[in-house]
């Protein structure tokens, strides 16, 4: 796969993806996973898959399952993490509470944090009174005296632990955006845990990245503004011996929906499950997702995952938000469909044919044989896996259940159409050899020459009579596959 390993002398690359199991997986998440995966594979590093489930109220097991399922479907393998385990586990934050409790204790014993007794209302009231333009916590409890503490405790107030942001500014060299600087006066002291002691994301993410020895954090742009807090916390964690190094950060652009809005979970287009159901190929979808912020070359946009791994460089990632365009996603997917062999397409289409009831499960031998003959006819005319079933149905259906599209019947099996069908029946019923070439010859003689019809006028009614639809695989081949008996029967029943 990749030949370029991590830079000589540097520590091996370790990246992670760390979704929260809320709702169904999102395309933005998949794109982030892909970039992390490609980055890891390019550098011969390790890809860690961890779950950030500290928000008990919002997490669901269904969501967790769908995350695993999605990653497996996409084929983005991870080296360490949930399911596969590893040396830095456990990989679900809900199972790491002792780790956070321990770090929190050590942080409290240092001067990096302080206990805060304020309520939101108090903070807000003080902000209004002072006229400060800076929102968020004002540092009121930073220098509490023992007496003040005791007084608050005597009142029965609960407290949380806040991280004390240092003075000055915090700068990091963002992997996709370059130097970014925040003055810490605009980054308020932040909470590390809830009043009940439960750790918050602000604590768990850096602690996990530290203990899992993550070297590069590639995540969504929405987390950019929390980065100065994490950089500051990492300084403390290094001091305490919890972290070795502060990871490099890279903030990936948003994936947008219609308009100027980030693709939200409410938007049906946002959900990865939809694309799987619609018959997208994982490699096609991945290819499209890769394009949302990255290009493999100036004049190319269809490529394999291996090629992406070889060429992927985080420095080439575009910082501006990208809009998800279904049409282009489908076009890219179609290109990947055409890259597949007939056998492979058949294999991928099969589950969809079963779902649609076109073939049974398991597939019978005659059906399997028919499929082998029919797939070459449809393979190159479908752009998604789901498109095969409606095209092939007429070949597999029992004669008793065969139906024609009423609209197509109305349109094409009118007076002239029925005449055409009758002529076709006459021409084909006496045919000695039931082959594509013989069928075509007979029909052309009867309809084009005999009736002096234009081909598109001549074959439309026959198509509807035999396949039930105006749109079908090539007609003469279809007739051959259908067989003499069924073909003639359908021509006849179309006249009834």
Partner RNA sequence: GCCCCCGUCGUCUAGCGGCCUAGGACGUCGCCCUCUCACGGCGGUAACGCCGGUUCAAAUCCGGUCGGGGGUACCA
Residue numbers annotated as active site:
265
Residues from 261 through 290 that contact RNA (CB under 7 A): 261-262
Q: Kindly tell me which residue out of 475, 482, 488, 494 binds RNA, with binding defined by CB under 7 A.
A: 475
Per CB under 7 A, which of residues 85..124 are in contact with RNA?
119-120
Question: Which residue in 225, 364, 429, 493 binds RNA (CB under 7 A)?
Answer: 225
Q: From start to end of 215-306, where are the E strands? A: 216-220, 248-252, 255-256
Of 323, 418, 484, 486, the one binding RNA by CB under 7 A: 323
How many residues are present in the chain?
496
**Of residues 150-209, which lie at the interface with RNA (CB under 7 A)?**
158, 160, 177-178, 180-183, 186, 188, 190-191, 194-196, 200-202, 205
Q: At closest approach, how far in Å is the CB of 152 from RNA? A: 11
- 429: Cα separation from own chain's centroid: 53
Under rule CB under 7 A, residue 293 binds RNA: yes
Q: Does 245 bind RNA (CB under 7 A)?
A: no
* Residue from the set 343, 344, 380, 426 that interacts with RNA by CB under 7 A: 380
Residue 468 φ/ψ, nearest 5 degrees: 90, -5
The single residue among 40, 217, 233, 256 that binds RNA, judged by CB under 7 A, is 256
Distance, CA of 370 to chain centre: 34
Q: Using CB under 7 A, which of the segments 147-155, 326-334, 347-355, 365-373 binds RNA?
A: 326-334
Query: What residues are paired with 26 via a beta bridge?
Result: 271
- Binding to RNA (CB under 7 A) within 353-372 occurs at none
State the Cα–Cα distance between residues 102 and 96, nearest whole angstrom.
10
- Any contact of residue 460 with RNA (CB under 7 A)? yes
Whole-angstrom distance, CA of residue 352 vs CA of residue 358 = 9
Count other C-beta atoms under 10 Å from residue 358's C-beta: 23
CA–CA gap between residue 395 and residue 249 (Å, rounded): 56
The minimum distance between CB 11 and RNA, in angstroms, equals: 26
Pair 165, 229: CB distance under 8 Å:
yes
Take residue 218 and report the two structure tokens written for it: 């590639």
From the list 77-85, 220-228, 347-355, 414-422, the region that binds RNA by CB under 7 A is: 220-228
Q: Which of 5, 84, 125, 134 binds RNA (CB under 7 A)?
A: 134
Return the range that interacts with RNA (CB under 7 A); candidates 139-147, 275-283, 299-307, 394-402: 299-307
Q: Which is nearer to RNA, 78 or 182 (CB)?
A: 182
In the block, residue with structure tokens 């596959």: 481
Alpha helices in 383-454 (DSSP H): 388-396, 406-412, 415-429, 436-443
CA gap 27, 265 in Å, rounded: 10
Q: Which stretch binds RNA (CB under 7 A): 37-45, 266-274, 352-360, 379-387?
A: 379-387
Q: In angstroms, what is the minimal distance from the CB of 362 to RNA?
A: 29
- Identity of the residue, 372 or 380, whose beta carbon is nearer to RNA in the bound complex: 380
CA distances from 55 to 5, 20, 93, 376 (A): 37, 8, 10, 51
Q: Does 52 bind RNA (CB under 7 A)?
A: yes
Q: Measured from the CB of residue 282, what is the shortest distance to RNA in angstroms? A: 19
The reply on whether position 474 binds RNA by CB under 7 A is: yes
Is 348 strand, coil or helix?
helix
CB 389 within 8 A of CB 358: yes
> Using the rule CB under 7 A, is 411 a contact of RNA?
no
Contact between 82 and 50 under an 8 Å Cβ cutoff? The reply is yes
> Which of 327, 341, 366, 406 is close enough to bind RNA by CB under 7 A?
327
């Amino acid at each position: 796969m990749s030949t370029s390993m991590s830079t000589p002398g540097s520590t091996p690359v370790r990246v992670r993806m760390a979704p929260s199991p809320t709702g169904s997986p999102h395309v933005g998440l998949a794109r982030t996973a892909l970039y992390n995966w490609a980055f890891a594979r390019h550098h011969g590093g390790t890809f860690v898959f961890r779950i950030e489930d500290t928000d008990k109220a919002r997490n669901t097991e269904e969501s967790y399952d769908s995350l695993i399922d999605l990653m497996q479907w996409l084929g983005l393998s991870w080296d360490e993490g949930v399911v596969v385990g590893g040396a830095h586990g456990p990989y679900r934050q809900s199972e790491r509470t002792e780790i956070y409790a321990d770090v929190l204790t050590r942080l409290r014993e240092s001067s990096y944090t302080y206990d805060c007794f304020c309520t939101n209302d108090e903070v807000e009231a003080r902000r209004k009174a002072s006229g400060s333009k800076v929102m968020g916590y004002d540092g009121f409890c930073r220098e509490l005296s023992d007496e003040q503490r005791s007084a608050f405790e005597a009142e029965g107030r609960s407290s949380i632990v806040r991280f004390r942001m240092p003075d000055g500014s915090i700068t990091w060299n963002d992997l996709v955006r370059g130097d970014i600087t925040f003055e810490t006066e605009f980054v308020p002291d932040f909470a590390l845990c809830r009043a009940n002691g439960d750790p918050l994301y602000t604590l768990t993410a850096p602690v996990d990245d530290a203990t899992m020895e993550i070297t590069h954090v590639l995540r969504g742009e929405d987390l950019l503004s929390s980065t100065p807090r994490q950089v500051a916390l990492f300084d403390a964690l290094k001091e305490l011996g919890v972290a070795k190094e502060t990871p490099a950060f890279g903030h990936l652009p948003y994936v947008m929906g219609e308009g100027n809005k980030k693709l939200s979970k409410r938007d049906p287009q946002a959900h990865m499950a939809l694309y799987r159901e619609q018959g997208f190929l994982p490699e096609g979808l991945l290819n499209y997702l890769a394009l949302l912020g990255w290009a493999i070359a100036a004049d190319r946009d269809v490529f394999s995952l291996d090629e992406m791994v070889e060429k992927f460089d985080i420095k080439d990632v575009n910082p501006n938000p990208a809009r998800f365009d279904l049409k282009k996603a489908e076009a890219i997917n179609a290109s990947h469909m055409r890259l597949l062999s007939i056998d492979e397409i058949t294999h991928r289409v099969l589950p969809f044919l079963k779902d649609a009831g076109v073939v049974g499960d398991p597939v019978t031998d005659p059906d399997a044989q028919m499929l082998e003959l029919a797939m070459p006819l449809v393979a190159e005319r479908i752009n998604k896996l789901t498109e095969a079933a409606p095209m092939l149905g007429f070949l597999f259906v029992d004669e008793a259940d065969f139906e024609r599209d009423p609209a197509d019947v109305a349109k094409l099996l009118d007076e002239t159409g029925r005449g055409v069908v009758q002529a076709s029946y006459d021409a084909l019923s006496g045919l000695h050899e039931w082959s594509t070439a013989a069928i075509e010859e007979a029909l052309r003689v009867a309809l084009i020459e005999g009736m002096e019809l234009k081909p598109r006028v001549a074959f439309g009614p026959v198509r509807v009579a035999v396949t039930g639809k105006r749109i079908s695989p090539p007609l003469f081949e279809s007739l051959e596959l259908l067989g003499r008996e069924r073909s003639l029967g359908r021509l006849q029943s179309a006249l009834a």
